[in-house]
A and B are shown apart, each in its own frame.
Chain A
Amino acid sequence: MVRTALVVDDHDGFRSTARRLLEAAGFEVVGEAADAAAAVAHAVRLHPDVVLLDIQLPDGDGFAVAERIAIDSPASLVVLTSSRDRSDYGARLNGVGVQGFIAKTDLSGERIVALVGAA
């Protein structure tokens, strides 16, 4: 069974790149969201296996979204990403509902698979 993914980022260019990366790694991208509200709504509706979630969103941050998803769609694994570095976030990366963190420049199919398992 093909695993589903939701891409959340306010940047169109990044979303399409991420979609291509995920699809290349064998995921089925079932949805895209540009802000925190849409991310939670899509996750609740689609129950994706993986959510690739940008931390800096126009209407909130990825940590809060991850907590929401952990409650409303507990089966979804949330992978946070950011153009900032891991050290810029400190302990929050170990927060509730977070599967892992990949810096955007390091993003690749292999890194995602390493975090969430094969598609």
Chain B
Amino acid sequence: MRRSFQVLIGAAAVIAAYSSWSSPHAPQLRWILTGFSYIGVGLWVWHRRPESRTGPLLIITGWAVWSSIAEATRVPLFWTLGSALEASWLPPLAFLMLSFPSGKLTSTAQRIVFWLCVGFVAVAGVAGSFVYDPRDFGCTNCQPRLNLILVHSSPDYVRYWGGLVVAAAFAVGLLGYSGWRARRGSRNERRVFLAGASAFVVAATVTLLWTSAVRTAFRVMPIAVVLLLALVVMIVTRWWRASAPLQRVLSPMLFPAVAFCLAVAAQQAIGGLLNLWTVFRPSPYIFRLITDIAVFAAMSLPLTFLLGLARTRARHLVVRDLVVQLGELPPLQELERVLSRTLRDPSLAVGRWDVERGEYVDTAGQPMLLPTEGSGRSTTLLEREGNPLAAIVHDDALLEDDGLLSSVATAARFVVENEGLQAEVRAQLEDVRASRARIVAAAQEERRRLERDLHDGAQQRLVSVCLDLKLAASAGEHEVPPQTRRLLVDASTELERALAELRELARGIHPAVLTDEGLGPALRSLADRSRLPTEVDFQVGERLGAQVEAAAYFVASEALANVAKHAKATRASVAVSRPNGHLVIRVEDDGVGGADPERGSGLRGLIDRVGAVDGRLELTTTPGGGTAVVAEIPCA
């Protein structure tokens, strides 16, 4: 549908361009083509952006361009219409050039210029037509009654008073409008408006008086020239002051807009001078050149609007890259950087919603102030299930392409959301790690207490009983019968064994030597008690944290127990060193190898135990080549 529409417009343009060059009516045909250009582009923009004023404004401008050449038909109805609407393209075009792409005038100066344009058309065109008889102004072959709304053909008299009445009526309307605005606008806005309105009344009156006084054709050229030059200044300043994204959109139209305004201003000025000063005769070549510039600039303007809008669309393509870039979970600063680059808005800022503080915070962690309406900057809020996630503060120009902004916002929301979830997971992981460390520490403390209780309580009492039994057994023969002595000896021997087992049990629960003496002596004690010849190479000078020592000790004791149980080794070794902030403990044997960490809970428990102090455990085993257990525990 859209494509066929474009083809149609293109074909019409080609035909019009061709005929305009070969026809004797070339000037009219060019303006017809220009009207096509506006209406075609306007329809397309309206179709694509129904919410934007740009489309309708372009169409209105196109019709206004067409109506301004209707005079050439010499059909009374069309002639009258064309005469009244001769400059009617000026207000919509001025509005377009000052408001593109938002379709909203943002400053008071812009509004004043626009309303001056409206006033100009009303006075020079509509009002002027009531007193304009073309035959009075040199159109000798114009038929009478060509102007259907002519009320008085005596140019001097009616022009003088009629002009004043029209100017006064327009001024009253403008003042009324400014009064209405004043109730809503700020004090400053009111002042500017009243000043603008007064200036207009004065300018209109003076011009009308002057033009009638010097008996020129009924044209109010000076006003047109001033208006067009004011437009040029405003267009250029607007482009100059625009934010980077807006400037990109405005750049294509800058040159044709300025060229058009200057060319038309030059046309009017030359026309005025011709009437004023009969000696002034510029070469027809220059006059034609200026006219050509005006026509081609006018013709190309809608296309440059189209190009500007396309520039906002072209950025859709980069959203895909953006999503890819953001997929790697950047922190907030990175997100801000990527968004700013993607949307070509260097001033773009991203704020994260801080749930505890109940406000948005920027990348530096400071509270973020959201822009107010009319400041030229807008906020796009990212939410999840109605809860605020983040805010993107950006240039108003980005609002023009709602699709782009919403795709980027969606991508950003995923990222922020994802980051939030990641942070949650990280926090939970941190919690779990801390609680695991606490659990291990508590368990260790509990074991230490248990060992101590065993030692201080039952063990002490049993030791005393054992010694008493031995003492009784060693009493003289006349005091203890032999049978009793034997029982006493058996009992004390049995009790000694029980005590030895109890001691071993207590040591397994927690070796006292580890707490009292540290890892080195504890490992040597462990090696001494091992059934295998075990070498200890301990290269750490100082005491380490209790958790680290305990973890390392249990690695050695569990590994040595496994060696004794499964490895069929002839010897084993324990080496402890402390390279760059890590405690490395290595237990090796020369046994049969083939240890499997998946089988049996001993190694699994060790891995957990080492993990609880952020360490890691590695098992290397080759069948027939022994087994090595290496634990690395951070202990900076």
Using a CB–CB distance below 8 Å, which chain A residues touch chain B? 11, 13-14, 17-18, 20-21, 24, 56, 61, 83-85, 87-92, 104-105, 107-108
Contacts and interface: CB of A to CB of B under 8 A. Distances in A.
Interface residues of B, number: 29
A21 B474 CA distance: 10
Nearest to B459: A83
A20 B471 contact: yes
B471 A90 contact: no
B521 A13 contact: no
A105 B493 CA distance: 10
B525 A17 contact: no
A105 B499 contact: yes
A85 B496 CA distance: 12
A78 B177 CA distance: 113
B499 A87 contact: no
Interface stretch (B19-27, B460-468, B481-489, B585-593): B460-468
B163 interface: no
A61 B452 CA distance: 14
Given A88-B525, A90-B521, A92-B517, A83 B503 contact: yes
B461 A56 contact: no
Contact of A108 (B470, B503, B507): B470
B455 interface: yes
Contacts of B461: 11, 13
In this complex, the member of A18, A87, A92 whose beta carbon has the largest number of chain B beta carbons within 10 angstroms is A87
Given A13-B461, A56-B456, A83-B460, A107 B521 contact: no
10 contacts: A14-B460, A21-B467, A21-B471, A83-B499, A87-B513, A88-B507, A88-B512, A90-B521, A90-B525, A92-B517
Contacts of A108: 470, 474
A84 B500 contact: no
Q: At the interface, is chain B mostly helix, strand, loop or mixed?
A: helix
A20 B507 CA distance: 30
A3 B238 CA distance: 113
B463 A83 contact: yes
B511 interface: yes
A106 to B, nearest CB: 8
B479 to A, nearest CB: 12
A84 B467 contact: no
A71 B464 CA distance: 31
Interface in B498-557: 499-500, 503, 507, 511-513, 516-517, 521-522, 524-525, 528-529
Given A83-B455, A88-B512, A92-B517, A14 B463 contact: yes
A104 B455 CA distance: 12
B528 A87 contact: yes
Nearest to B523: A90
Contacts of B517: 89-92
A99 to B, nearest CB: 20
In this complex, the member of B500, B516, B521, B522 whose beta carbon has the largest number of chain A beta carbons within 10 angstroms is B516
A87 B528 CA distance: 7
Contact of B463 (A20, A88, A104): A104
Given A84-B512, A90-B522, A91-B521, 17 more contacts: A11-B461, A14-B467, A18-B467, A21-B471, A24-B474, A83-B460, A83-B503, A84-B455, A85-B503, A87-B529, A88-B507, A90-B517, A91-B517, A105-B463, A105-B466, A105-B496, A105-B500
In this complex, the member of A18, A20, A83 whose beta carbon has the largest number of chain B beta carbons within 10 angstroms is A83
B534 to A, nearest CB: 13
Nearest to A109: B474
A93 B474 CA distance: 29
Contact of B467 (A85, A92, A107): A107
Contacts of A88: 507, 511-513, 525
B467 A24 contact: no
Nearest to B525: A87
Contact of B460 (A11, A91, A92): A11
